[in-house]
A and B are shown apart, each in its own frame.
Chain A
C-alpha cells in the first residue's frame, strides 16, 4: 500500500494482508473439508463477511463479480427473501447479507433484471415486522430478536425502502430493550450483550435516534469490555474474543467514544490472532481461523485507523465509500 510507512512496524504489528486475501479467496475451494459442508447454512453470510474484509483490505476485486451475483441471486425465493444457499429456506439474516453484498458490488440493478426485484425483497423484510411491538421476526416461524430488527433497518435503508416499516415503533422497541447499565439485550428484559448492543445502537443510528442512548453509561460498560490482554469480551467476566473487537468498537465508534479503550493494546491483540502464514484471524491467539473473525478483526483494525485499511462504516459494517455511494452521504 503506497503512502503508508507501516512496513517499518515490528513484525508482530504487521497485518498479513496478502495471506488474508488468499485465505478468503480459498474459502469456496474447501469442498474436501467436512466443515465446508457443515457450514452451508452460513454460506451467504460468509460471502458478505469475506467480501467486506476484502474491500476493507483494499482488494475489492479479489472475488469474481459475476459469480458473486449469480450465487446471491441463486439463493433468492419467490417470496423475495434469501436463504443461506440454494435449497435453504429464506430468513432475515441471509436476506440482509444478500442486500449488503449487492450494495457493496453496486449490483442492485441485477436484482431488478435477473433477480426478483428490490420491491419483493423490501416486502419480505417488511412482512416480518411485528406490527404490535415494532420488533422483527427472522422468518415465518416467528422468533424475534433485535438482531433481526437491526438487519431489517440496515437492508431497507440500503434499498431506500425504510418507509415500508414502522421505524418509530422499531425505535421504541429498541429503547425497551435498554438496561440500567446502559446496554441493550435481545428483547425487553434480556441481559446486555455486546453483539446485541451493536445491533441496537446501529439500528438507532439508521433511524437517526442516537439521542436515545445514554452514551456515558453505555460507553462505560463498553470500555470495561477490554481485558488486560488488550482484547474485548462481550459481557462482564467473559473471555476476550476478536469478534467483539467489532461489536464493542463499532458501538463505541457510533457514540464517539473509541478513545475510552486502549487502541494500541487492541491492535496488538487482533494482530496476534492472525495466522500470518495461511491467512485468516481467529477468536483468540492460537485458535483456528474463520471468515467471521477475519472480517470483524479487520473491521476493528479499520475503526482503529490501522494504516492501509479502507475506512469502515460503524453502523453498517461495510466500506464507508459504499455507504456514501448508496445513501449519498
Chain B
C-alpha cells in the first residue's frame, strides 16, 4: 500500500503465478488465524507454539505490528524471568491483564496511560531506575536467592540476545521498517533492568556497532541515524554507567563525511554535536575561534571539490551563524564584535567569489554570495559595487535556477537597495 522503487507490472499473472500466489496467501493466512485462535483461547499466556507462530509470521511480514506486540507479551509472560514486584516500576513493562481475550484487545494500554510514562525514553532514562535496585538486592540477599537470581539473569540474557539475533536478518531485509527498530529498542531496554550493568552495557555497545554497520550499508538511513542518537543517549546515561561519548561520535561524523562528502545526515549530526563538544571541552573564546576556523577550512576543502552539493552549503550556513545577526542560537563563537563579523563575512565572500571563477554555473555559489552579502548589509551599509554584484548574482540565479523564480522575486523585493 506504500510501495517504493517497485517496477509497475504490465503483464497480468500467468495461471502458474496466480496459483503460486494463492498458495502463499493460504500459508500466510493459516499462520495468522492459528495465532489468533491461540490468543483467543489463552490470551497472552506463554506457549511455545504461539511464540513460534509469531516468528514465522514476522519473517513473512515484519510490518505486522500487532504480532510484534504479541511477541513482547509472550516473552514477558513465559520466556523472561518474572520480576519481583519491587524490582521494576509497573509502567516499564506493561503487563497484559488476563481479561485480554482477543489479539486486538489492548488491556495494557490503560496502565501506560495511568503511568503517563514511556517505557523507554531518551529524555527520561530515570524511568528505568527501579531495575537497578533489583540488581542491588542480589548483592545483599542470601546465597540461594543470589543463585536463583543469577540463573534467572543467565536465562534472560540468552532470551534477549536470541531476540536481537532473530531481528537482525529482518532488519537487513527491511531497514526502514519502524517496528523492527522499535522491537530492538524494547529488548534493549529490558536488558537494562534484567542484567548486570556491565553485561547490559556490552549489549548496548554491540547495538551501536550494528547501527554503524547499517549506516555503512545505507549512509542516509533516517531510522538508523535516529536510533543511533537514542542508543548513544542510553550509553551515556547513568543506567549504563555511561559517560559522554561526544568526542567519539564527533569523530564518527568526520569519518562518515570523509568517506562521502554528500552525507547530509552526517553533516547534520556534526552540527548537533558541536555545541556539546565545545561545552564539554570547556572551550574558551580563543579555542572556539580556532575550532570555527578549522571547521571553515574543512568545509572550504569540501566545497572546492563539490560545490554543487547542497549538503555542504547547508553546513556552511550553519558555520556562518557565528557572523549572522539573529542566528546566535547556533553560533560557535558568541563574542565576535561587529567588526570581526564584518571581516569574516568579507573573507568568506572573497573565498566563494574565487570558487565562482572555477565553477561559474553552480547556482549554490551565487545563492551563498547573495545571502552573505545581504547579511553584510545588515552590519554595515553596502557599497555601490557590492549592490551591483548582488544584482548580477541574482541575475545568475534566475538564469541557472529558473524553477525557483518566485523565490528570486521575493528575494529581490525584500532588498531595499
Q: Give the B-binding residues of A (Cβ under 8 A).
A: 31-35, 37-42, 45-46, 49, 77-79, 81, 83-84, 86-91, 123-124, 127-133, 137, 139-144, 179-181, 185-187, 189-193, 219-221, 223-224, 226, 228, 235-238, 241, 243, 257, 259-262, 265, 275, 282-284, 286-293
A124 to B106, CA, bound (A): 11
A-B contact pairs, 24 of them (CB 8 A): A37-B32, A38-B28, A38-B63, A41-B63, A42-B63, A83-B104, A89-B65, A140-B111, A142-B112, A142-B118, A179-B268, A180-B271, A186-B222, A189-B229, A190-B226, A191-B225, A192-B268, A224-B310, A226-B403, A228-B403, A259-B406, A289-B8, A290-B2, A293-B2
> What residue in chain B is nearest A221 (Cβ atoms)?
B314
A133 to B403, CA, bound (A): 40
Classify chain B: how many residues form its interface, as a range. Answer: 35 or more
A288 to B123, CA, bound (A): 40
| A34-B24, A38-B28, A220-B407 as given contacts; A283 in contact with B5, CB under 8 Å | yes
Q: Is the CB of B6 within 8 A of A287?
A: yes
**Smallest CB separation, A257 vs chain B (Å):** 8
Give the secondary structure class of B's interface.
helix
Q: Give the A-binding residues of B (Cβ under 8 A).
A: 1-9, 18, 21-22, 24-25, 28-29, 32, 36, 60-61, 63-66, 69, 72, 94, 102-106, 108-113, 116-124, 178, 182, 185-186, 220, 222, 225-226, 229, 262, 264-265, 268-269, 271-272, 309-311, 314, 317-318, 321, 327, 330, 402-407, 410
A286 to B7, CA, bound (A): 6
Q: Is the CB of B104 within 8 A of A131?
A: no
A42 to B32, CA, bound (A): 16
Q: Is the CB of A86 within 8 A of B104?
A: yes
A137 to B116, CA, bound (A): 10
A40 to B262, CA, bound (A): 37
> What residue in chain B is nearest A31 (Cβ atoms)?
B25
Chain A residues whose C-beta falls within 8 Å of the C-beta of B63 in the assembled complex: 38-39, 41-42
Chain B residues whose C-beta falls within 8 Å of the C-beta of A287 in the assembled complex: 3-8
- Given contact pairs A45-B1, A292-B1, a sample of 5 additional A-B residue pairs in the complex whose CB atoms are under 8 Å apart: A89-B65, A89-B69, A130-B123, A141-B186, A190-B225
Q: Is the CB of A89 within 8 A of B106?
A: yes
Chain B residues whose C-beta falls within 8 Å of the C-beta of A31 in the assembled complex: 25
Chain B residues whose C-beta falls within 8 Å of the C-beta of A131 in the assembled complex: 116
Q: Is the CB of B410 within 8 A of A260?
A: yes
Chain B residues whose C-beta falls within 8 Å of the C-beta of A129 in the assembled complex: 116
Which residue of B1, B109, B314, B330 contacts A127 across the interface (Cβ within 8 Å)? Answer: B109
**Smallest CB separation, B369 vs chain A (Å):** 15
> What residue in chain A is nearest B273 (Cβ atoms)?
A189
**Smallest CB separation, A242 vs chain B (Å):** 10
Our count of residue pairs bridging A and B at CB distance below 8 angstroms stands at: 223
Chain A residues whose C-beta falls within 8 Å of the C-beta of B182 in the assembled complex: 141, 143
A240 to B6, CA, bound (A): 14
Q: Is the CB of B1 within 8 A of A39?
A: yes
| A81-B109, A288-B6, A292-B1 as given contacts; A130 in contact with B116, CB under 8 Å | yes
| A141-B182, A220-B407, A290-B3 as given contacts; A181 in contact with B317, CB under 8 Å | yes
Question: Which of A78, A124, A293 is most buried by chain B, counting CB atoms within 10 A of its CB?
Answer: A78
Which residue of A89, A91, A132 contacts B123 across the interface (Cβ within 8 Å)? Answer: A132
Q: Is the CB of A42 within 8 A of B1?
A: yes
**Smallest CB separation, B285 vs chain A (Å):** 21
Q: Is the CB of B3 within 8 A of A265?
A: no
| A124-B109, A127-B112 as given contacts; A41 in contact with B64, CB under 8 Å | yes
Which residue of A137, A179, A241 contacts B118 across the interface (Cβ within 8 Å)? Answer: A137
Q: Is the CB of A88 within 8 A of B8?
A: no
Chain B residues whose C-beta falls within 8 Å of the C-beta of A86 in the assembled complex: 104
**Smallest CB separation, B222 vs chain A (Å):** 6
| A87-B103, A224-B310, A261-B403 as given contacts; A191 in contact with B269, CB under 8 Å | yes
> What residue in chain B is nearest A230 (Cβ atoms)?
B403
**Smallest CB separation, A63 vs chain B (Å):** 16
Which residue of A141, A223, A289, A292 contacts B69 across the interface (Cβ within 8 Å)? Answer: A141
Q: Is the CB of A32 within 8 A of B21?
A: yes
| A190-B229, A191-B225 as given contacts; A87 in contact with B36, CB under 8 Å | yes
Q: Is the CB of A191 within 8 A of B1?
A: no
Chain A residues whose C-beta falls within 8 Å of the C-beta of B25 in the assembled complex: 31-32, 34, 37
Q: For the complex of A and B, list the 9 residue pairs with the smallest distance between their C-beta atoms, beginning with the closest.
A: A127-B113, A259-B406, A140-B112, A142-B118, A262-B403, A292-B2, A142-B119, A260-B407, A288-B6
**Smallest CB separation, A227 vs chain B (Å):** 9
> What residue in chain A is nearest B118 (Cβ atoms)?
A142
| A140-B106, A180-B318 as given contacts; A130 in contact with B65, CB under 8 Å | no
Chain B residues whose C-beta falls within 8 Å of the C-beta of A123 in the assembled complex: 113
Q: Is the CB of B404 within 8 A of A223?
A: yes
**Smallest CB separation, A93 vs chain B (Å):** 9
Q: Is the CB of B1 within 8 A of A140?
A: no
Chain A residues whose C-beta falls within 8 Å of the C-beta of B226 in the assembled complex: 185-187, 190-191
A179 to B268, CA, bound (A): 9
> What residue in chain B is nearest A49 (Cβ atoms)?
B1
Q: Is the CB of A77 within 8 A of B105?
A: yes
| A83-B66, A140-B112, A241-B4 as given contacts; A32 in contact with B18, CB under 8 Å | yes
A220 to B367, CA, bound (A): 11
| A237-B262, A237-B309 as given contacts; A139 in contact with B109, CB under 8 Å | yes
Q: Is the CB of A133 within 8 A of B29?
A: no
Chain A residues whose C-beta falls within 8 Å of the C-beta of B5 in the assembled complex: 283-284, 287
| A37-B25, A283-B4, A287-B8 as given contacts; A180 in contact with B109, CB under 8 Å | no
Chain B residues whose C-beta falls within 8 Å of the C-beta of A293 in the assembled complex: 2
Which residue of B8, B22, B404 contacts A226 across the interface (Cβ within 8 Å)? Answer: B404
> What residue in chain A is nearest B108 (Cβ atoms)?
A140
Chain A residues whose C-beta falls within 8 Å of the C-beta of B405 in the assembled complex: 262
> What residue in chain A is nearest B326 (Cβ atoms)?
A214
A144 to B38, CA, bound (A): 30
Q: Is the CB of A275 within 8 A of B225?
A: no
> What residue in chain A is nearest B60 (Cβ atoms)?
A38
**Smallest CB separation, A211 vs chain B (Å):** 15
